[in-house]
Amino acid sequence: MGRVTPVLVALQGVAVGSAPEVIAQLPIIGLRALVVAGCAILGSVAVAALWIGRGGVGGHGALQSHAAGAPANPLKASASMAVALGVGLAAGAAALWPAQSGWPSIADAAWWSVLTLCVLIGVDLGSGDLRARLREAGPRLLRVPAAVVVGSLAGGAVAGVWLGPVAPAAAAGFGWYSLAGPLVMQSMGAEAGAVAFLANLMRELVALLVIPLVVTRRPAGPALGAAVAGAPAMDTALPFLARYGGGDTALIGLVSGAVVSVLAPVLVTLVGALFGG
């Protein structure tokens, strides 16, 4: 699993680098998107740290991360993810991905990579007593997605002081950029939709880079890793949570990501309807 995860990061870089419409908008809306993403991530981490604290998600030992799954040097792991992202961006911008018939598209290649890694994670999770771990943690698992929702919306409100209503609407995407962009565009216009798309894309990419550092900070690390990721904790970021935090960290991310993914379309639509023009 550890050798495959950089491939996924590189493929996402190729997808971004090969989209000229996204690259062209970066100088105009990139700063605003970065502010929204940063406020949403910081808000989620801050609320998770306050609510969960030193006890971890499961309290006295329940659902704590397995140290055996973490790399010896998390800084080196994050650096390798950054290199993979840079290589992917360069390859996408240079149109190096084969476009001939018979080759899978970038989206298909990334999808199959995620699917393969998720199958491996499922095998890892299924090797233990999953139901026992869920029963042991109980409702405490819901503190992580609650922290993501409250923290992201609070961060979006802070960013909204400068950027206006697009900030909380974009923050309500929780990292689900393919959802947030079109929904915000529908209610607030094309430029706002582009901010939402890039802000949530940035959140996902930042999560992939910092998860190796965050999840190693026991015992709250697994929850903080899921909080940084938001919705992608259940899919794109799930392999990273599992690789660098262990099976229980992946379980926390899976539950948190699933809950906020259900809430994201409702909250993005609601905020857009309340503040959209």
Q: Cβ distance 174 to 36 under 8 Å?
A: no
User: Measured between alpha carbons, how far is 70 from 77 in angstroms, rounded to an integer?
Assistant: 10
Whether pLDDT at 8 is above 80? no
Omega before 71 within 30 of 0, i.e. cis: no
In the chain, pLDDT over 70 holds for what percent of residues? 67
Backbone angles phi, psi at 176, to 5 degrees: -90, 80
Amino acid letter for position 52: I
Asked whether residue 178 is domain-assigned, the answer is yes
97 in any annotated domain:
no
Residues 255, 58 contacting (CB under 8 angstroms):
no
Q: Is residue 85 part of a domain?
A: no
Q: What is the pLDDT of residue 21?
A: 67
Give the residue-averaged pLDDT of 210-234.
86
Tens digits of residue pLDDT in 47-104: 998 887 655 565 434 444 444 444 445 556 667 767 877 887 788 777 666 655 566 6
So what's the pLDDT on residue 22? 62
pLDDT tens, residue by residue, 143-190: 899 999 999 999 999 999 999 999 999 999 999 887 888 888 878 887
- Judge whether 154 lies within some domain: yes
> For the chain, what is the domain count?
1
Distance between CA 218 and CA 221 in Å, rounded? 5
Cα angle at 108 between 257 and 12, to 5 degrees? 60
Neighbours of 47 (CB within 10 A): 23
- Give CA–CA dist 35/108, Å, rounded: 30
Give the range with max mean pLDDT: 76-80, 127-131, 159-163, 221-225: 159-163
Residue 84, pLDDT score: 78
Task: State the pLDDT at residue 154.
Answer: 96
In angstroms, how far is CA 243 from the centroid of its own chain?
A: 15
CA–CA dist 140, 118 (Å, integer): 24
Looking at per-residue confidence, does 173 or 27 come out higher? 173
Q: Higher model confidence: residue 21 or residue 56? A: 21
Q: Average pLDDT, whole number, for the chain? A: 77
User: Does any domain span residue 86?
Assistant: no
Decide if 208 contacts 114 (C-beta within 8 A).
Answer: no
**pTM, to two decimals:** 0.71
Q: Find the domain containing 256 and state its range.
A: 27-78+115-275
- Predicted pLDDT at 254: 86
Give percent above pLDDT 90 in the chain.
Answer: 23
What pLDDT, on a 0 to 100 scale, did the predictor assign at position 64? Answer: 44
5 in any annotated domain:
no
Q: At 8, which amino acid appears?
A: L
Query: Is 229 part of any domain?
Result: yes
Examine residue 109 and state whether it is found in any structural domain, yes or no: no
